[in-house]
Amino acid sequence: MLGEGVYHNLKNRCKIFATDKEVNEPWLEYLDVSLSNDVEKYLRKINPDYIVHLAAFTDMEYCETHSEEAYATNEGGVKNFLAYARENNVPFVYISTAGIFDGVKDAYSEDDIPNPLSVYGKSKYAGELAARSLKHSIIIRAGWMMGGGPGKDKKFINKIIKQLQAGAKELLVVDDKLGTPCYTYDLAGIIEHLLDKRAYGLYHGACSGAGSRYDIAKHLIAQLSLDGQVKIKKVGSQFFKEIYFAPRPKSEKLLNTKIPHLIRDWRVCLEEYLKKFDWKLN
């Protein structure tokens, strides 16, 4: 999701070598970041001036039941790039997550101490700590991701839209988990800005504003002009406990205290996102 935004944001100003385990675009090459020898060989081949590390296992339930694999990618995958970055003085960008917090507080700033609850959160925080050991690194914590369009969006927005495409007239949506949406295209711009400025350090990159999953779904339905046609029913997160069993914090709300001038309200971003693609809802 984020890789699509970063690629299209930067492709006209530099040569991009983009990799994934799922090669579903002509601009992608295959690479498993958890394999240190493959990473070293690839880096020697392309000799990059910058490394933007977006690779991660983000399926929280998968991580919970495949912890070794999660750590191998979410921590080990970062470490496999750091030796090259350190040796060649290459700026390194790492995308962390709001999931490294425990949700005890209502909202979290860059200075709050992480305490992840899930294997996903713990493995991502391990990757963050590894990245922070490099003096010329940029770490950006993202919120609830939205972006990529119908073909790449694996998160909340497209899950709701797929229900609508299937003819759903009632949506069951959690209202007891809070967070801050993060628009991939804005985050791509933040990455570019911080690299241009060589502004190394730790940042929060989510949109401004916050809400529950219910709040987001309600705004989504309104923007699709489906008010009165689709009912949204509030449910607690326990309703989905068998499907989404990985522990999640009550609040993943992020405060963006360092780069507030680079972020927009999530509602504005969601409206822009819906207009950016054909969601085939007619």
CA distance 225 to 129: 44
Q: Is the pTM of this model over 0.85?
A: yes
> Over the stretch 129-139, which tens digit does the pLDDT of each residue have?
999 999 999 99
Using a 10 angstrom Cβ sphere, with 0-12 exposed, 13-18 middle and 19 or more buried, the burial of residue 238 is: exposed
What does the pLDDT read at residue 282? 73
First and final C-alpha spacing in the chain: 24
> Over the stretch 76-125, which tens digit does the pLDDT of each residue have?
999 999 999 999 999 999 999 999 999 999 999 999 999 999 999 999 99
> Over the stretch 145-159, which tens digit does the pLDDT of each residue have?
999 999 999 999 999
CA distance 55 to 58: 9
Angle at which helix 36-46 crosses helix 76-88, to 10 degrees, equals 40
Tell me which residue has tokens 């496999």.
80
Map out the domains of the chain as residue ranges.
Answer: 2-276
CA atoms within 13 A on the CB side of 202: 20
User: What is the CATH superfamily name and number for domain 2-276?
Assistant: NAD(P)-binding Rossmann-like Domain (3.40.50.720)
**Is pLDDT above 80 for 28?**
yes
One DSSP character per residue, 168-181 reads: -SEEEEE-S-EE-E
**Is pLDDT above 90 for 69?**
yes
> Over the stretch 172-220, which tens digit does the pLDDT of each residue have?
999 999 999 999 999 999 999 999 999 999 999 999 999 999 999 999 9
Rounded mean pLDDT of 59-73?
Answer: 97
> Over the stretch 225-259, which tens digit does the pLDDT of each residue have?
998 899 999 999 999 998 999 999 999 999 999 99
Sign of the alpha-carbon dihedral angle for 127, 129, 131, 133: negative
